[in-house]
Structure 1
Amino acid sequence: MTTALSLQMLEAAVEQCYDAILVTGAELDAPGPRIVYANPAFCRMSGYAHEELLGRSPRLLQGPETDTATIERLRQCLREGRRFEGTTVNYRKDGSRYCVEWHISPVRDAQGRISHFLSVQREITARLQAEQQRELLASALNATADSVLITDRAGTIVFANRAFEAQTGYPVAEVLGKTPRLLQSGQHGADFYQQLWRNLERGESFRSTFTNRRRDGSLFHLEQTITPARDADGRISHFVSVSKDLTERVEKEQALQVLAFTDKLTGLYNRSFGEQQLTHEWNHARRYRRPLSAIMADLDHFKAVNDTYGHACGDRILALLGDTLRRCVRKSDTVIRWGGEEFLILAPESDAETAAQLAERIRCAVAALRDPQVQRLTISLGVAQLSGSEETAQLIERADRALYAAKAAGRNRVEIADGVPA
């Protein structure tokens, strides 16, 4: 390839280059280097025609917001013959401002002397504005008290705000590149998440109350809305999750629910809730023709405990008895404080003989207790198995009669109600 052809190709490439290119002389005395060439991209960027630029100093592009420190650093690099990189604000011919990114290099002749400076420039106004908007958005999202999480289309986390850190205990840097699955608590079934993804894939928001797990393993509750975000072509590109922490409210509601069905002194179910459980177990036993037994238990000589040692001691004994009953029964059994020192144990899937074995285990456990004041405690128990025709009240009445039979026979014993279930 001839030198002339090479020069033609180089000139064509520079003329058609997307980046703005400016060539100046190497003189550094005031007013500084003068422009000897500007390509069409530079003319479009600055608003000046090529003829208007030739012989003039690039200082004509400077204005009130041009960074003086950057210009001084530029001049120092030129004096030392070093490459310069920087950004600043320049002004077009019509006075409008624009942001420019510079790369200026010295051009040396055959003797190694600097003969020119080559400046390759690119307007970055739109990029800086976009970055400023992103920074403003990130600042706003970090200022909100609600947790904000953004994932890409595949569900990979690309942004989390400071409220997310406070809510979950996960530093943002630790979750970027991961998925929200790390928050799952196991409290929601597969159908919950399937419905979530069905909504999102249809381009619909999904809103629900989530129970998630923090970094330290503790659970927290939140009202969460997940919304698809679309790109310029209308395709779903990201998912935005905004969450409000409901932990305090949910825990208060749960505490109220516990108070509604729990006996405050013993921590067992109270009679109101116990009656509901009795009806539930009775319906199950009748529908599926399965055995159900009831054990009525009463602490022996409890009135004497209250009279001799006072009600504070009596309350302590009842709480101790509640703990003992909980330890003795199966997970499927229900222990209810029926009233005063009287307790009802519902034993589903148990015939009278099996329930009597459970009652005997309870009796032995209570007999083994030792209290600093009362010393030895005993309990009497009556067992009844549901017959095919009786109602709940009749079952409880038969268990109660068996209990009083145990009392009459000397206490600290188990009695089974008469009658064989039909």
Structure 2
Amino acid sequence: MTTSELSLFKAAFLQSWNAIVITDADASQGYGVVFANPAFCTMTGYSFEELRGRPLKMLQGPDTDPMVIADLRTCLQQERYFEGTTYNYRKDGSSYVVHWNISPVRDENGKLTHFVSVQQDISEFVRVARDNQLLARALDATSDPVVVTDAHAHITFVNSAFSRVTGYPVTEVMGKTPAMLRSGQHDEAFYANLRKTLTAGKDFRATFINRRRDGSIYHAEQSISPVMDEKGRITHFVSVTKDISDRVEKEQGLIHDASHDTLTDLYNRRFGEQVLSSSFRQARALGGVISLILCDIDHFKQVNDRFGHPTGDRVIVNVAKALRHTVRGRDAVIRWGGEEFLVLLDDCPAEPGQQLAERMRARVEALQDEEVGRITLSLGLATLAADDTLEQLIERADTALYAAKQAGRNRVSVAP
């Protein structure tokens, strides 16, 4: 080997980022240190003078893995390659995690003369790995669903709560996108706002209506946050969700109870008046037309007097069902009084309104109560006129209803 080559090897040894130490091959003396580069001295806290001739057993301590050391001794005795990881201790007593390998060095005759070891302090890597494991365990232990995606919205992590709430096992969602949870109850503008907000590096918070694996719907308060690297580039998104289905169901139940009649499940009068007012304002603003049908069960007082109130309630319920099943989907049926109903026909002129009223009359007439027998209905129809107030429109329908009763009941009367 030339002088220049020796100089190169020396420079490489001394300047190597990895810690390198060379020991002799004398097992009886514990394989004393022959050379150690500056990186090794920095890692251990010992100067080369303090290391020279001493066995590296001096770096072992309470947390050094005895099984790793036993494997090391076997490899040295058998003059073969070794690789391992354990705790070592610096001169100041502090510990560090070292990953190292040892190779036997032989002379030109094949005789073992030394061992060379290349080592790395991987304490920081181990700490980060343990922190990540702790974080993963913590996220998995939380009761709220957590989802982590990459920058392209592909799922890289979900916790157990996610599987419990959505019904999707972890193995089934990895690599997919949260779009699999879409219920179809949000419009595209909702998702466009989500993408715009996250792309701008801002948090997005909203109540999502999602779909579980079994097809059922659930409501979730969801917060999605972008995660950025040191250069400000988005690398991941983290979503934390709270299932609020029970709360939403209770709220919807309260809203339903406040707006619907207990007996018939039709709109009650108080909420019905709000629906009427809103429809009237819209018709006036847009030049639309609405019709009202005010109807009353014929001779209902006699039903109550003869058969009792439970039978009367049953008749009211059956008439309510008949009305609801006859009107169009956009129409509103309101229980206006005891046996009186008001039907709001949206975007409906007089002629089709009269036809619909007649179908309602016929459907009720076809009802046969087990005690009462035939049930009939009188109906008054009024269509919004140019100078009508809402009160006048209702009054005109009421006048038409009175006219139907006066004309013999079980008929439709149309207000002029």
* TM bucket, shorter chain: 0.7 to 0.9
Aligned residue type for 1:86: G
2:136 equivalent to 1:138: yes
Distance 1:269 1:39 in 2: 87
What is the aligned length?
A: 416
Distance 1:26 1:16 in 2: 24
Distance 2:387 2:95 in 1: 94
2:73 equivalent to 1:75: yes
Task: Report the Cα offset of residue 385 of structure 1.
Answer: 1.8
2:285 equivalent to 1:287: yes
SS at match of 1:145: coil
2:307 to 302, 309, 321: 309
Aligned residue type for 2:117: S
Aligned residue type for 2:314: R
Cα–Cα, structure 1 residues 270 and 91, in superposed 2: closer, same or farther, change >3 Å?
same
SS at match of 2:320: helix
Structure 2 unmatched ranges of 5 or more: none
Distance 1:297 1:34 in 2: 108
Cα–Cα, structure 1 residues 123 and 357, in superposed 2: closer, same or farther, change >3 Å?
same
2:175 equivalent to 1:177: yes
| Correspondence for 2:39 | 41
Distance 2:111 2:340 in 1: 108
2:158 equivalent to 1:160: yes
2:223 equivalent to 1:218: no
- After superposition, give the CA deviation of every residue in 1:346-401 in whole Å (9 maximum; x if it has no partner): 11222222111111222222233344444433322222222222222332233223
2:16 equivalent to 1:22: no
SS at match of 1:339: coil
Q: Tell me the TM-score normalized by structure 1.
A: 0.86
Task: Report the Cα offset of residue 126 of structure 1.
Answer: 1.0
Cα–Cα, structure 1 residues 6 and 323, in superposed 2: closer, same or farther, change >3 Å?
farther
Distance 2:384 2:134 in 1: 70
Aligned residue type for 2:242: K
Aligned residue type for 1:216: D
Aligned residue type for 1:23: I
Q: Bigger shift: 160-169 or 57-66?
A: 160-169
Task: Report the Cα offset of residue 4 of structure 1.
Answer: 6.9
2:332 to 317, 331, 334: 334
Task: Report the Cα offset of residue 278 of structure 1.
Answer: 1.8
Distance 2:166 2:411 in 1: 54
| Correspondence for 1:359 | 357
| Correspondence for 1:13 | 12
SS at match of 1:133: helix
| Correspondence for 1:63 | 61
Structure 1 unmatched ranges of 5 or more: none
Q: How does 1:380-419 map to 2 (within 5 A)?
A: 380-417=378-415, 419=416
Aligned residue type for 1:21: I
Task: Report the Cα offset of residue 147 of structure 1.
Answer: 3.4
SS at match of 2:294: strand
Q: How does 1:235-314 map to 2 (within 5 A)?
A: 235-314=233-312
- After superposition, give the CA deviation of every residue in 1:163-219 in whole Å (9 maximum; x if it has no partner): 333333333444343333333333333333444444444443333333333333333
Distance 2:252 2:371 in 1: 36
Task: Report the Cα offset of residue 56 of structure 1.
Answer: 2.3
Cα–Cα, structure 1 residues 32 and 362, in superposed 2: closer, same or farther, change >3 Å?
same
Aligned residue type for 2:148: I
| Correspondence for 1:150 | 148
